[in-house]
Every structure is written in C-alpha cells, then in structure tokens.
Amino acid sequence: MKSDSLPISISHTGAFQKLLGRLCAYWLLTKDLQTGLLLVTAIAGYASACCSNMISGSLASLIGTLFLTVGGSTVLNMAFDRNIDAKMLRTANRPLPAGRIHALEAWILGGLMIGFGLLWATRLSGLYAGIVAAGVFLDVVVYTIWLKRRTPFAIILGGLSGGMPALAGRTLALGQVDTLGILLALGILLWIPTHIMTFSIKYQAEFTNAGLPTFPSLFGVKITRWIIAGSTLLAVGAMGTFGWLLDLPHLPLAFLLALGLCLMFLVVLSLIKPTKKRNFALYKGASIYMLFSMLLIIAGGF
C-alpha cells in the first residue's frame, strides 16, 4: 500500500509546487514593491482628508480598487514591454521574457484586474473612478504604448499617472478634487524624475541596447544630474508646502522637512563629486524619502 501511494503523493506535491510557482510568477508581474509604494501614496492622500469629511468609500475599498488597477496596469506594461525586457540583463529573467508566463495570460490577467478594479471603483464614487481610470490610461496607453519608446519626456506623463493614486485617495475621502490633492500629486510628479533618471544613469548602457531613449543618452549625464537637482528641489518644496497647508502636527512636519533636507544633501553630493555609489545612494534615498514622507502624512492624518 505504501509503495502504491508514493507516486500519487509525489504527483500531488509536484502539481502544488508547479501551481505555486505559477502564482509567484503572476505576482511578480505586478511589481509588488512599486505597486505597494503607490498604494502607500493613496493611503496618505486618503488619511490627509479622512478625518475631516469621510463621506464616501472606505480604506479597504481604496486599497482593493487601487491594487487591482495599479497592479493590472503594471501587468499590461510588462506584457507590452516583454521584447525590450528580453534585451536587458536586469530584466531578462522576468516571467514573460523568460517564458514562464505566456503573453496572452498576462494580457488577460491585467485586463481582468483593471476591469474589476474600475467596476469596484465606480460603485464607490464616479469621480474617484474617473481619476483611477485616467491614471490607468496615462500609464498604459500614453506612457507605455505611445511615448516610452519614442521620447525620454514620456516620464512626465508617466509621472502624472504616478500621482493619480494619491489624488484618488484624497478625493475618495473628501468627495471632491481640491488644491491640496493636486499639490500632493504634483509633489509625486516632481519626485519621479529623481527616481527614474538616477536609475537610467545607472543602467544607461542597457537602456541604449534596448532602444529606449533616456535623458542621459539625449542630454548627457551632467545635464541630467542638474535636471534631477531642480526636480528634487521642487518636489521637496511641494511636499513641504503640502504638509504645512495640511497643518500637520509639528513633529511629523519637522520630520518631513528634515527628510527633504537629507534628500537635497544627497543631490548636492552627486553634483559636487558624482560617482556610481552616490548616484545609487540618491536613487535609494529618493525611494526612502517618498515612503517615509507618505507615512508621516498618514500618521498626521489618522
């Protein structure tokens, strides 16, 4: 009996491992860290308004709808970009170029996620759903499909889509679009060049090999660093102004301003004596700045 049952047991284990591996591959298509950071910005937008006038929706619904739409958009982006991902060492092992997931599966998965997410968002608020849909359109159609392979200025519209979750979160809680919500989205838009351009400096050769235009390849690394400096200064100013106008408690506001100064310090260092390590430190520092800035806004709101 034991010898007869062993192959069945092994077969079941193998099938489970295969299913688990496939689910993990699907999960990787959503770029969980990137999607997670955008969800944190949405929660920050929600928290910045929720305690004054929470007239529609809930935090759980916000997270659910945006996980589906943001994650679904990322899946579609990965499906569309699979050929250029295959040309870069950094991305060649992603599920689609590596052949672990078929492109049709990704198109279906991304489409279903976006469809269900927008349907859910519509049930919460028409205005909220409109902002979410605009973010999806800007990210997938305008940025990825239309502009990404044509011009490095695509990151501007990509940045607009990156600011939509924060604007959507505040709008869901407040019931309307307001100046502070736009300012928060603007702060994220201005932060995105720091994040993307430092990354493009680090992997300039791979982007060139894949045929993707970048600011370093078009304008040179030196000018790109000055663009990063200007954009970072404006982003820090926008975020600090948002915190001040929001009337954040003194301690979170002080930490928010201190984070901005730390980020600007990294920018100055990269201008004075640029090195690969300092560029990478600025890239990582920008992500840390955005994450903790959003957490401070969340702490001040709740």
23 exposed, middle or buried (CB, 10 Å; 0-12, 13-18, 19+)? exposed
Mean pLDDT of 201-222: 95
What pLDDT was estimated at residue 54? Answer: 47
What pLDDT was estimated at residue 51? Answer: 60
Domain membership of residue 23 (yes or no) is no
What percent of the chain has pLDDT above 70? 93
Domain membership of residue 6 (yes or no) is no
**Confidence band, pLDDT 50/70/90 cuts, at residue 245:** very high
Mean pLDDT of 135-162: 94
What pLDDT was estimated at residue 158? Answer: 84
Domain membership of residue 17 (yes or no) is no
Domain membership of residue 180 (yes or no) is yes
Place of tokens 């030196």: 222
Domain membership of residue 290 (yes or no) is yes
Q: Whole-model pTM?
A: 0.92
Domain membership of residue 87 (yes or no) is yes
**Confidence band, pLDDT 50/70/90 cuts, at residue 163:** very high
Query: Could you tell me the residue range of the domain that residue 150 belongs to?
Result: 29-301
The residues, any chain, with a CB within 8 Å of residue 181's CB and separated by 6 or more, are 45, 49, 166, 167, 170, 171, 174
Domain membership of residue 2 (yes or no) is no
* Average pLDDT of the residues of the chain: 93
CA 66 to chain centre: 11
**Confidence band, pLDDT 50/70/90 cuts, at residue 89:** very high
Domain membership of residue 117 (yes or no) is yes
The CATH number given to whatever domain includes residue 60 is 1.10.600
What pLDDT was estimated at residue 1? Answer: 47
How many domains does the chain divide into?
Answer: 1
CA distances for 67 relative to 196, 229, 237, 248, 271, angstroms: 22, 31, 29, 27, 37
Mean pLDDT of 131-150: 96
What pLDDT was estimated at residue 96? Answer: 97
Backbone angles phi, psi at 248, to 5 degrees: -60, 145
Mean pLDDT of 189-208: 95
What pLDDT was estimated at residue 70? Answer: 98
Express each pLDDT in 56-75 by its tens digit.
448 999 999 999 999 999 99
What pLDDT was estimated at residue 26? Answer: 96
Higher-confidence position of 6 and 46: 46
Report d(CA 238, CA 263) in Å as an integer. Answer: 14
Q: Is the pLDDT of residue 161 over 80?
A: yes
